[in-house]
Amino acid sequence: MARPTQDQNKAWLDGIRTVKHWPKHGVMFKDITPLFQNPAYFKSMIDTLKQRYEPMKPDVIAGIDARGFMLGAALAQAMGLGFVPIRKAGKLPFETIKEDYALEYGQASIEIHIDALKAGDKVLLVDDLMATGGTMLAAVRLIKRLKAEVLEACAIIDLRDLGGSALLRNEAVRVFSLLAIDSGDDTH
């Protein structure tokens, strides 16, 4: 299955902007928007993921609100698949199911339309970043509640020191990221 080349890794790392103390003091926010602004970076990410996932034959791609939409929708289009949004609570217009999850300081919820997936659908779950894994795990639970199967949870960045990918693996979810870095890395 396709793995990024060293040249791709370097280019993508160069395309990530680290914003210190945002959205709050002490956080080193990884801003991926420059990757999407650069057509060559964006295309190479989509091409790499397409090569990886075509042999797995997903039925649909689900993306998590909001930056997971950018990657997930583009990948779905490139693969000729449908795209399912998993949104923050209260943002979807039709009947939904909801999953709550813990944040560092409180709770949050995400939702999916009740008819977004069919039983047995093979779903590729996409987001921009894996940190603690709470949002991704909540999305996995939503997909499973609709009797669909998560082929893999995929992100551009795995902040490996925050444990999200390990949490998902402990829940028997396959995980893949284009880049694995530490949350405090501010070299790019």
Domain range for 57: 48-181
Mode of pairing for the β-strands spanning 96-103 and 106-113:
antiparallel
Tally Cβ neighbours within 10 Å of residue 14: 14
**Average pLDDT score, the chain:** 93
Is the bond into 78 cis (omega within 30 degrees of 0)?
no
Assess whether pLDDT exceeds 70 at residue 186: no
Give residue-wise pLDDT tens across range 8-24: 888 898 889 989 988 88
Band (pLDDT 50/70/90 cuts) for residue 26 is confident
At 186, the amino acid letter reads: D
Q: What is the arithmetic mean of pLDDT over 140-163?
A: 97
Q: Is residue 103 assigned to a domain?
A: yes
Q: Is residue 155 assigned to a domain?
A: yes
| Tokens describing residue 5 | 């080349």
Only one residue has tokens 């790499």, namely 48
pLDDT of residue 182: 87
CATH number of the domain within which 99 lies: 3.40.50.2020
Q: What is the arithmetic mean of pLDDT over 156-175?
A: 95
Q: Is residue 5 assigned to a domain?
A: no
Q: Is residue 71 assigned to a domain?
A: yes
Band (pLDDT 50/70/90 cuts) for residue 2 is low
| Cα 70 to Cα 55: distance, rounded to the nearest angstrom | 22
Give residue-wise pLDDT tens across range 100-146: 998 766 799 999 999 999 999 999 999 999 999 999 999 999 999 99
Q: Is residue 26 assigned to a domain?
A: no
- Residues 92 and 114: beta-carbon distance below 8 Å: no
Q: Is residue 14 assigned to a domain?
A: no
Only one residue has tokens 């650069």, namely 38
Q: Is residue 175 assigned to a domain?
A: yes
Please tell me the total count of domains within the chain: 1
CA-based Rg of the chain, rounded to a whole angstrom? 16
CB neighbours of 14 closer than 8 A, spacing ≥ 6? 188
